[in-house]
Structure 1
Amino acid sequence: MPNYDLITILGPTASGKTPFATALAYELDAEIISADSRQLYRGMDLGTGKDLDDYTINGRQIPYHLIDIAEPGYKYNVFEYQQDFLKAYEDIQEKGKLPILCGGTGMYLESVLKGYKLIPVPENPELRQKLAGKTLSELTEILSSYKTLHNSTDVDTAKRAIRAIEIEEYYVTNDTEQREFPPIKSLIIGLDIERELRREKISRRLKQRITDGMIEEVKGLLEKGVPAADLIYYGLEYKFLTLYATGQIEYDEMYNGLETAIHQFAKRQMTWFRGMERRGFDIYWINASLPMEEKIQEAKALLNR
């Protein structure tokens, strides 16, 4: 265990990352740092799958960080994530505990594991005007022409794609030299879930979350004054449910479109993680279908090699 500064647990949506990470944290007396680009927003609970009950095991609360740290509507970015991660990481280490990084947002994970030098990127009105009116597929094609890193897994609206291009263009045209991000030696564990089982779990979970009040959650955010455009910006559940709540699409179109979008999102996540392996990250894959105790034992064996 002393050979690692951090344990990272990654995997596609519905692979069981949070229950596994919290069970492992319980065993190791560790703390969780979230790497989810939407769970950091307060009040966005069911739609982001926070599952905060998973953080209590046998009456013990597993400490977590970078969840519920921003107001809905705010445009949080990767630069901020690096800074917030580093503060949480150092705070946990000062307690003499092991941090566990857990999430499925590839860019967040890679930005801290590889220590990319990132800076805040201002808006570019001229570029935005130039890109206005282009379709999502056209914008995605433009984004793919850049050689630098961007989290394409989360780009499922034109607004997000334009922001992604804006960031890439800034890095191309500006000197982005910044202070070094500290090197972090992490054991990276991926949860490998069979495709059909993943699809089944995604569909079952979507039904459950709608039953639990996910539509009402979105309506409540709108009633509190969060602009519909801001919720749509977050994509996936918030995009489709906001379009439904504001009368722009019917229920069946919302449900079927959202289900398809989540399946596509999970596929893009796996493409990102395989890309991480090609970029030199060693990811040790554990079968997500194994009983929890077996997964924990495999993780401990990896730690103690």
Structure 2
Amino acid sequence: MEYPPELDIISILGPTASGKTSLAVALAHLLGTEIISADSRQVYRRMDLGTGKDLDDYIINGHAVPYHLIDTEEPGTKYNLYRYQHDFFETLGDMRSRGLRPVVCGGTGLYLESIIRSYNISHVPQNPALRAELEGQSLEALTALLAELKARSGQAMHNTTDVDTAKRAIRAIEIETYNLEHGASERNCPTLRNITFGLSLDREVRRQRITERLHQRLENGMVAEVQNLLDEGIPAEDLIYYGLEYKFLTLHCTGQLSYDDMVQQLETAIHQFAKRQMTWFRGMERRGCPIHWIDAMLPTDDKLAIIEQTLKAL
């Protein structure tokens, strides 16, 4: 298989537990290229099981497929879309200098869409005075304030991850307040020629895969992974900020949730997250990003054959 000369990137997306990483690695291996991750949490070192890095998947027949934007940041730091774009285009430039074009793989829809649809993102500094003013307010009150600010700027409250936690809501309010007061200072994001493939799963199959994967990761030491991060001195609130596994496992490790309650609530949260991922991907299509959907249950060779046929038809 050859990388079509008319494309800058090939993207593979799908909900959690859909098998997108293994497909992207197999495709990159065939194309003789490398992978750029589009996952908002896999950038963090020592956060492996909770983020589902599946690094063993990057080895095919003893050959390691190179990957980028994984294990680049220390836990406790705040990585964001602005930094992702910077790192993505820096990595892309390096690959181009070596005559390569990437396979982009991930489940963070906003990160993917920002690259595919050339979002111009503004950098907003922290506002300590505003943060102090908002500290202690309920998530409901913060959500209402964010909705009011977005309405003033003519935006809709479509990104529910903005209000997953009070800290996220405060940061979103900080951004909206800055943009209303100063206007957005935007990075010029270049337009990339792209084709996107998505893995689709029947809802019940997806739920079964998520459940099986969660219990496997718990058996493999996911609780210990979070406890080790806490033992390093990373504040519990910083881990909770990352959401999903790190939120519920931290609550368990700090004695706020029993093990059984943690597993039940976490499983429900991951199911809801996967549903939101699919909602975002469908929204991408409505916003002008065509996705070529492939049945995730097909054997890898069949998926690759579909991709090859689609690429040849360009």
Query: Counterpart in 2 of 1:267?
Result: 275
TM-score by length of 1: 0.94
User: Identity of counterpart residues, as a percentage?
Assistant: 58
1:139–1:158 contact (8 Å) kept in structure 2 = yes
Q: How many residues align?
A: 305
Distance in 2 of aligned mates of 1:29 and 1:198: 30
The residue type equivalent to 2:310 in the other structure is L
Q: 1:98 to 1:218 in 2, by over 3 A?
A: same
Distance in 1 of aligned mates of 2:123 and 2:273: 26
Q: 1:151 to 1:28 in 2, by over 3 A?
A: farther
Query: Counterpart in 2 of 1:15?
Result: 18
Distance in 2 of aligned mates of 1:101 and 1:227: 32
Q: Deviations over 1:113-140 (max 9, x none)?
A: 2222223212233443454444435544
> Is 1:250–2:258 an aligned residue pair?
yes
Q: Which of 275, 280, 285 matches 1:277?
A: 285
Deviation at 1:142, TM superposition (A): 4.6
Q: Deviations over 1:26-52 (max 9, x none)?
A: 111121000100000000000000000
Query: Counterpart in 1 of 2:58?
Result: 55
1:150–1:164 contact (8 Å) kept in structure 2 = no
Q: Deviations over 1:75-123 (max 9, x none)?
A: 1111111110001111112221220111011111111222222232122
Query: Counterpart in 2 of 1:221?
Result: 229
Distance in 2 of aligned mates of 1:138 and 1:232: 20
Query: Counterpart in 1 of 2:90?
Result: 87
Q: Which of 35, 38, 42 matches 1:39?
A: 42
Distance in 2 of aligned mates of 1:74 and 1:185: 32
The residue type equivalent to 1:277 in the other structure is E
The residue type equivalent to 2:306 in the other structure is E
Unaligned runs of 5+ residues in structure 1 are: none
Distance in 2 of aligned mates of 1:153 and 1:178: 22
Distance in 2 of aligned mates of 1:137 and 1:290: 43
Q: Which of 75, 81, 85 matches 1:78?
A: 81
Distance in 2 of aligned mates of 1:114 and 1:150: 17
The residue type equivalent to 1:33 in the other structure is I
Q: 1:291 to 1:154 in 2, by over 3 A?
A: farther
Unaligned runs of 5+ residues in structure 2 are: none
Distance in 1 of aligned mates of 2:185 and 2:170: 24
2:147–2:156 contact (8 Å) kept in structure 1 = no
Q: 1:126 to 1:175 in 2, by over 3 A?
A: same
Q: 1:56 to 1:220 in 2, by over 3 A?
A: same
The secondary structure found in structure 2 opposite 1:257 is: helix
Q: Which of 110, 114, 122 matches 2:113?
A: 110
TM-score by length of 2: 0.92
Could you say what the CA RMSD is over the residues aligned between the two structures, in angstroms? 1.8
